[in-house]
Amino acid sequence: MKTMVAAAASTSVEALQLLLVSLANHPEIQAKVLAEIQDVLRDPQRDVTTEDLNSLTYLGQTVQESLRVHGGIVMILRQVTKDINLTSCTLPAGGRIMIPLHAMGWNPDLFPDPSQFRPERFSPENLKNRHNSAFLPFSGGSRNCIGKTFALAFLKIALVHILRRFRVRSEVRLEDIQYEVTTVRHSKTPLL
């Protein structure tokens, strides 16, 4: 249990750092997120509610886009439960397959100009045109990340509190970030 909590905290903090660097590199997006926060919350002193988080749609799109660009989970392994016939081969039951989650987010067929940071990719209109398994930052199905709800809430609430009080700037450019890749990606570049 301690390992799970430590892993959740570590990956969530890393995701927040990368989200902040993304906003620092795109002040126009940061301004749009802040405007939405001010519009939804109005009173800068009140706590953020679940209803607020659900109403902060552009903030949610920005979090999703940051997870697409900087996704922490590189790949997952799954076991094939029944034979699957594909165009070029058959995946036999009992076999193992690797699903490259991070690479899916950079697939230009799914996300045109994948190196561009565009939260609008996750607008309701754009989501209608994309398969729901095209973006799986927390894996999918019955074995998805147990911390998904916590991580998304943490990122949104932290961003609300930070942007209410500060404008984020960074000397780190997104294209200069270097990663260490294991099962999970970590930035080797000092971010904050």
Using alpha carbons, select from 170, 150, 70 the residue that is nearest to residue 114: 70
**What 3-state class would DSSP assign to 164?**
helix
Token pair listed for 175: 């294209």
Query: What's the count of helices (H) and strands (E) in the chain, helices before strands?
Result: 7, 6
C-alpha torsion sign, points 6, 10, 13, 16: negative
145 marked as binding residue: yes
Asked whether 153 and 49 are in contact (CB, 8 A), the reply is no
d(CA 44, CA 38): 7
DSSP characters for 94-150? T-EEEE-HHHHHT-TTTSSSTTS--GGGGSHHHHHTS-TTS--BTB-GGGS-TTHHH
Q: Is 75 exposed, middle or buried (CB count within 10 Å of its CB: 0-12, 13-18, 19+)? A: middle
**Binding site residue list for heme:** 145
**Binding site residue list:** 145
